[in-house]
């Protein structure tokens, strides 16, 4: 199987603070993935992205959501999913990791 991991920060790209509450962001992500793109199932959990601001040098811990999607074939809608998430959550970038994985459902 192919495992796609998306890490989505929740700080607004323009205001550099979290504007959309985490629960609302999770609802938006679920609606986009299942409602708009027909993803059958995924795993989503809260985490933190950590980075240094170029503008101030401050170290930031940003509330983030990580989404894991396992598919039998390439997730051809990945770029469209990313663009939709970026627009909806006002994000500059979303990290996307792709790997082959041995995933079993028993």
For residue 57, what pLDDT is reported?
87
Q: Are strands 59-71 and 43-52 parallel, antiparallel or unpaired?
A: antiparallel
Q: How far is the C-alpha of 68 from the C-alpha of 19, rounded, in Å?
A: 24
- pTM recorded for the entire structure: 0.91
Q: Which of 106, 86, 99, 100 is nearest to 25 (CA)?
A: 86
For residue 27, what pLDDT is reported?
98
For residue 39, what pLDDT is reported?
97
Print pLDDT tens along the chain (106 aa): 999 999 999 999 999 899 999 999 999 999 999 999 999 999 999 999 998 887 788 898 999 999 999 999 999 999 999 999 999 999 989 999 999 999 888 8
Backbone angles phi, psi at 95, to 5 degrees: -80, 135
Work out the number of other CB atoms within 10 angstroms of the CB of residue 79: 10
For residue 104, what pLDDT is reported?
82
For residue 16, what pLDDT is reported?
87
Work out the number of other CB atoms within 10 angstroms of the CB of residue 10: 23
Q: How far is the C-alpha of 21 from the C-alpha of 25, rounded, in Å?
A: 6
Task: Give the chain's domains with CATH numbers.
Answer: 2-100 (3.30.70.120)
CB 81 within 8 A of CB 67: no
């Amino acid at each position: 199987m192919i495992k796609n991991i998306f890490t989505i920060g929740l700080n607004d790209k323009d205001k550099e603070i979290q504007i959309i509450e985490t629960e609302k962001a999770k609802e938006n992500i679920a609606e986009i993935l299942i409602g708009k793109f027909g993803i059958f199932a995924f795993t989503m959990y809260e985490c933190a992205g950590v980075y240094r601001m170029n503008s101030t040098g401050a170290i930031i811990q940003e509330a983030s959501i990580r989404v894991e999607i396992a598919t039998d074939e390439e997730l051809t809608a990945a770029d469209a999913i990313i663009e939709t998430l970026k627009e909806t959550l006002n994000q500059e970038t979303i990290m996307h990791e792709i790997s082959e994985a041995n995933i079993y459902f028993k």
